[in-house]
Structure 1
Amino acid sequence: MIDGKIITAVKALARYESFREAAQAVGTSPASFSRHITQAEEYAGNILFERRRNGAQLTAAGQRFLSLLDDLDDASSIFEQGVEQLRATGTPTLNIGCGPLTTRTLVNPLIEQLLQEMPELRIRITVSATKEPLESLRRGILDVAICDLTHTPDLSDLDIQVIEKKPVSFWARPQHPIHKDAPVLLADIFRADLIAPKFHKHWQAAIAAVLGGDQKAWGAVEKIPKVECDDYGLLADLACRRDLIFGGMRDAVAQHATLGLLKEIPTKQELNWNICAARRKNVSFPALDRIWNSLSERPT
């Protein structure tokens, strides 16, 4: 079996394309890192990286080897999940992945309902604004993902349902100067100091289009948001203290708005956020079916 340090080294070099940066990223010496790459190539029987003066790039064999490592990760994850379920025989577990937009307004009521109907159920919730929930779903780590799926190119192996379609809203403390010009263009919002979760490629493209769609617009997108965090409570609290614009759904700042700490910024255009649910096809058990049916019953 291939050593874990070798796997880590190969993945790091494929990502950074630099022996020095990759070694720093994994926290090992350049000599040890180089040795791990050599061991990987001996193990694979092929040259995995083309060495260049300005870095290293995967060869065709390296790309295939990296793909096999991903397959190994998937198999290992499914194995660990199966063992964990075996250990917990008799105690059903539902694993939910969601984005920060959905935790209070959508996931919490569902959890409350499930626990009332199935008091023996154990629930694990993973919150992330990136694409990891779908990757974990495919590996069997999650049973259902509730998040923004618009950036995912291939959904053929998943069941999908749209749960909510809501406009993105923008908020700032009442003293923020942008309120004087309201309603404002979306471009004005994105040229200001914006705080939000991580923007995936779909949202980056949408924002770049708002800013003009040229090279300058994409350069600006790379600097957005000014503060990036998946914790909406943290971002809302920060917007109350500084002249920073918070972007998200109204439900996430309802308490701050009621207290007069944040004020919505009217805009001349609208961006919509589609919240979807996903599960693997042909996977079914009582707790998963119950939450899936509950999601289906929600008005979009």
Structure 2
Amino acid sequence: MTLFQIEVLVAVANRGNFTRAGEDIGLSQSGVSHTIGSLEKELGISLFVRNRNGVQLTAAGEEVVASARIILQQSSRIKQIASESVGLLHTTIRIGSFPSATEHLVLPLIRALNGLYPQLETRLFEGTYPEIKEWLRTGVVDVGFHILPEADLDGILLVKDPLKAVVAVNHPLAKEDSLTFEQLTTEPFIMPMAGCELLLYNEFGKRNLKPQIKYEVVDNATILAMTEAGIGVTVVPELTLPTNLPQVKVIELAPPVYRQIGLVVRSLEDCSPAVLAFLREAQRYLSTSN
């Protein structure tokens, strides 16, 4: 059985007539008849009942055609995937990202894609969440790493980044294996202001808690230095933590809270084949590497 035979079979089932099916697919009536006859001989069953008004599917033919339609759908999907991948061979993808995503997600992804698609070019624009949204809106970038959900953009989830409590090593809370938001409200709090503050305000709010915010700081290194000095406690995403920590203790939150990082575009429906292929490859690579 060939894909061509399946295409002819579905065309005849759709039209109920060999001649009209042939007109749809550019085949003569005799060519259609010969193709269906060969398929029936190969399968050992009758697919159609012939009459003067056309043809009707037999009971077995109905089941065969149902499966044939699925095969054609999958064949179309295979061609689409191939087309998208070919699009990655000779294109430039402009990526918006924020610092922790750049280090832990974007750079490993670009290295992996360069191995698969040597002629793929990537350009990286690093900024804040609002800047990434604006770059997408104005067409500066094609895709952006961003926190999900984002109401104004279409996105796919890539990574769940756990939030961690951070205290000085000599802080009374440092002996705890895990910390609750209730415990954190009893201490001076350093609020990270690079975008994570929205998630933290939401988590405190869900519990009807009001943190003692003493400082609002954007730079992660400054936040950790202030925490090390005992000025306050904080909560930051795990991906923002450096490999060599200062004199601080990183503690699990109870219950766990995650920053959901994804790739976003203005509209999945309007994406080019190359961008769709990039999204697919990014999701595949990052889901297997994390």
Partner of 2:216: 227
Pair 244,115 (structure 1): closer, same or farther in 2 beyond 3 Å: farther
SS at structure 1 position matched to 2:148: coil
Residue 164 in 1 paired to residue 159 in 2?
A: yes
SS at match of 1:118: coil
Q: Deviations over 1:185-233 (max 9, x none)?
A: 21332453224224464542332223x16xxx3xx5xx7472321x434
TM normalised by structure 2 equals: 0.55
Equivalent position of 1:270 in the other structure:
256
Partner of 1:183: 178
CA pair 166-202 structure 1, distance change in 2 beyond 3 A: closer
Correspondence for 1:111: 110
* Aligned twin of 2:190: 194
CA distance, structure 2, for counterparts of residue 267 and residue 205 of structure 1? 15
Partner of 1:205: 202
Whole-angstrom CA distance in 2 between matches of 1:101 and 1:225: 24
Letter in 1 for 2:103: R
Deviation at 1:120, TM superposition (A): 6.6
Q: Tell whether 2:145 aligns with 1:146.
A: yes
Match of 1:136 in 2: 135
1:2-47 Cα offsets, whole Å, 9 max, x none, are xxxxxxxxxxxxxxxxxxxxxxxxxxxxxxxxxxxxxxxxxxxxxx
Residue 162 of structure 1: how far off its partner (Å)? 0.7
- The 3 A distance-change label for structure 1 pair 107 and 225 is farther
- Supply the AA of the counterpart residue of 2:189: D
The CA distance in 1 between the partners of 2:283 and 2:183, in whole Å, is 37
Q: Is the Cα–Cα contact under 8 Å of residues 195 and 244 in structure 1 kept in the other structure?
A: no
- Matching residue's letter, 1:131: P
Alpha carbons 1:101, 1:248 under 8 Å: kept: no
Deviations 1:223-270 (A, max 9, x none): 7472321x434433443344433422333325134xx63311243322
> Are the aligned partners of 1:98 and 1:133 in contact in 2 as well (CA < 8 Å)?
yes
2:121 counterpart of 1:121? yes
**CA separation of 1:119/1:268 partners in 2, compared to 1, >3 Å: closer, same or farther?**
same
Tell me the secondary structure at the aligned position of residue 270 of structure 1. coil
* AA at the equivalent of 2:280: N
Q: Which residue identity does 2:168 align to in structure 1?
A: R
**1:177 to 1:126, Cα distance in 2 relative to 1, 3 A:** same
Larger Rg: 2
Kindly state the Cα deviation for residue 273 of structure 1 after the two structures are TM-superposed. 1.5
State percent identity of aligned pairs.
17
Provide the rounded CA distance (Å) in 2 between the counterparts of 1:126 and 1:285: 24
Tell me, yes or no, if the aligned pair for 1:99 and 1:148 is still in contact at 8 Å: no
The separation in 2 between residues aligned to 1:194 and 1:167, in whole angstroms, is 18
Instruction: Identify, as 1 or 2, the structure richer in strand.
Output: 2
Match of 1:245 in 2: 233
Query: Which amino acid counterpart does residue 190 of structure 2 have in structure 1?
Result: L
Report the AA paired with residue 251 of structure 1. L
The answer to whether the Cα contact below 8 Å between 2:147 and 2:260 also exists between their aligned partners in 1 is yes
Amino acid at match of 1:206: E
Distance 1:143 1:238 in 2: 37
Given the alignment, which residue of 270, 282, 290 partners 1:295? 282
CA distance in 1, matches of 2:251, 2:99: 21
Residues 120/161 of structure 1: CA separation in 2 closer, same or farther (3 Å cut): closer
Q: What SS does the aligned partner of 2:174 have?
A: helix
Structure 2 gaps of 5+ residues are 1-89
Amino acid at match of 1:249: P
How many residue pairs get aligned? The number is 193
Q: Is the 8 A contact 2:168 2:174 kept in 1?
A: no
Unaligned runs of 5+ in 1: 1-90
Q: Which residue of 1 aligns with 2:10?
A: none
Taking only aligned residues, the RMSD between alpha carbons, in angstroms, comes to: 3.1
8 Å CA contact 1:167–1:273 kept in 2: the answer is yes
